Structure formats: C-alpha cells, structure tokens
A = this chain, B = another copy of it.
Amino acid sequence: MTPDQVEEDAGAERRAGFIGLGLLGLPMATNLIDAGYALTVHNRTASKAAPLVGRGAVLAGHPMEVARPGGVVVTALWDDAAVQSIATPNWLARLTGGLHISTATMLPETSRQLAARHAAAGVGFVEAPIFGRPEAAAARRLAVPYAGAAHDKRRAAPVLKAMGAAELFDLGEAFGAALATKLAGNFMIISAVRTFGEALQMASRAGADPKRVVDMLTSTLFAAPIYQSYGQRLLSGGTGFVSKIPEKDLGLFVETAGPLPTPIASLLQTLVTEQRRA
C-alpha cells in the first residue's frame, strides 16, 4: 500500500482509534463520531467511554486493540510518560503503515524521540497539541498547531478538523515545533492572566472601577480572546487556574529553554505553585 492509498482508504472509511477520553479527549472523540467516524476507543477508566459506546463506538480493553495495520490512531493523553507508555514497540508493530496523531502537550525532545521510534516501525507520527478549553472542543473551535512529515500531515488534517480544529497551523516538518508553539502559547496565557490580575488589583487600590479598566483595555490594545475571557473571570473573582496544567506546562517550558534565561516563566512557576497550594 502506498501512502496515498492509505490516505484514500482512511478518507473513505472514516475509521479511527482514539485513546484518552479526558476533558478534551471526550468532546474531540464525540466530534469524530458526529462527523461519521467509526471509532475504537480506549481509556484507562473504561466507564468514561460509555457515552461514546452508546453512540456505536467499540470499546477496547487494551491499547493494542485500537491499533491496526494502516490505521489512524489519535492519542489525547496527559503527558510524555503516558504517550511513551502507549507507543511501545509491540503497539507500533501493530500500527505498521498507519499514523499516530498525538495531542499531548509534552517536551519537543520527547516528540523527536517518539517520531524516530515510529519511523523505525514504519508508522507515521504527527504532533498536534490543542489550544482550547473543553467548551471550545465541544464547539469545534480549537486552534491546532501541527508538525510532522508532509504526507502524514495531509492524512492527519481531515481527522483533526473532524475532531474540532477550527484552524490548523502548519509548523513544518521538524518535530517539536508545534509543541514549542503550544508551550509558548500556554506560557503567554499564564503570564497574561497573572499580569492582568496584578494590574487590576493595583487599579482597584487606586480607586478605578475594575470593570471600566477591563472594558477599555480589552477593547483597545488587548482586544484578544484571552484577555476578554479572563478579564471577565478576574472581575468575578477567579483566575480560572484550577488545574495542574499551568505548573506542568511551565515546567516543560523551562526544561525546553535549557540554558536560556527564563525569568518570567520561572517566576510564574513559583506563583502558580503557591496559588495551587493556598
């Protein structure tokens, strides 16, 4: 089978494996079913698959059952270790001629190692980390940077769109580039939100009405989705950081930066850790 035949077959049969039904994975898998995909799904906690099984998805008890020669498997997993634990030599052998699309936010270096292991097994690999909260996944409004070999990205693109990507951004062929974009973006989000919070506290103390400050700034220089949504949350007293994502992603950011100075990322690591422990 040539890559093109694989691509056509996949397009024709709209069939995929899906591993990882977390906060983002579940709505993305649901979108695939809505788009007509026949899914074989696996999740560590099998009960989370119930809504998908109710709509015709096949539940696999083991990741091995999700892989088949020439097939497409999406993994929507938490971190490097989780992806590495799925993409074992046996699993890759079973997926030969196929494609693995990984949405996990992990180290660029891990992606490079995984890609080499996939290539050796004759499996394509595409890194496609996801920008968007679960509500955005459900609304098919995700922004997705992706990287990998051109023919693998061509095959991955329709799957990612069916999963809820409103926009795909091609970061090139070098593995790690899409992940670096995601780490850059998450760092920028965390910095923007903490900065906005610090600014509003100062403004309130100086006697300004924080709502008017938010209204002005988010309709002029900071008229961007991230400031508009978090501005409203800050006004109602929350920062929106309730998950472990900020700590994890700042850690990946600093590790990826290596010897480069990361004064802001390092400060934010301290701040989000303090916040979570408070």
Using a CB–CB cutoff of 8 Å, the interface residues on chain A facing chain B are: 108, 131, 143, 145, 167, 169-172, 174-181, 183-185, 187-189, 191-192, 194-196, 198-203, 205-209, 212-213, 215-217, 219-227, 253, 256-258, 260-265, 267, 270-271
Interchain CB contact under 8 A, A188 and B184: no
In the complex, chain B residues whose CB is within 8 Å of the CB of A145: 216
In the complex, chain B residues whose CB is within 8 Å of the CB of A219: 167
Contact of A200 (CB < 8 Å), options: B184, B207, B220: B184
Interchain CB contact under 8 A, B203 and A180: yes
Interchain CB contact under 8 A, A174 and B207: yes
A181 and B199 alpha carbons, distance in the complex (Å)? 8
Interchain CB contact under 8 A, B215 and A226: no
Interchain CB contact under 8 A, A257 and B177: no
Given A171-B208, A180-B208, A221-B131, A199-B216 contact (CB < 8 Å): no
A260 and B177 alpha carbons, distance in the complex (Å)? 39
Known: A177-B212, A188-B195, A191-B264. 11 other contacts (CB 8 A): A145-B216, A185-B222, A188-B196, A188-B221, A191-B195, A198-B261, A201-B257, A220-B225, A222-B226, A223-B224, A224-B227
Contact of A188 (CB < 8 Å), options: B171, B199, B256, B262: B199
Copies of this chain, whole number: 2
Contact of A225 (CB < 8 Å), options: B179, B194, B221: B221
A271 — nearest CB in chain B belongs to which residue? B263
In the complex, chain B residues whose CB is within 8 Å of the CB of A258: 205
A263 and B272 alpha carbons, distance in the complex (Å)? 12
Contact of A198 (CB < 8 Å), options: B131, B170, B187, B217: B187
A226 and B188 alpha carbons, distance in the complex (Å)? 13
Contact of A264 (CB < 8 Å), options: B180, B188, B198, B261: B198
A265 and B270 alpha carbons, distance in the complex (Å)? 15
Contact of A201 (CB < 8 Å), options: B205, B221, B260: B260
The smallest C-beta distance from A106 to any residue of chain B, in angstroms, reads 12
Interchain CB contact under 8 A, A212 and B172: yes
Interchain CB contact under 8 A, B262 and A194: no
A108 and B203 alpha carbons, distance in the complex (Å)? 9
The smallest C-beta distance from A274 to any residue of chain B, in angstroms, reads 10
A217 and B217 alpha carbons, distance in the complex (Å)? 19
In the complex, chain B residues whose CB is within 8 Å of the CB of A171: 208-209, 212-213, 216
A47 and B138 alpha carbons, distance in the complex (Å)? 63
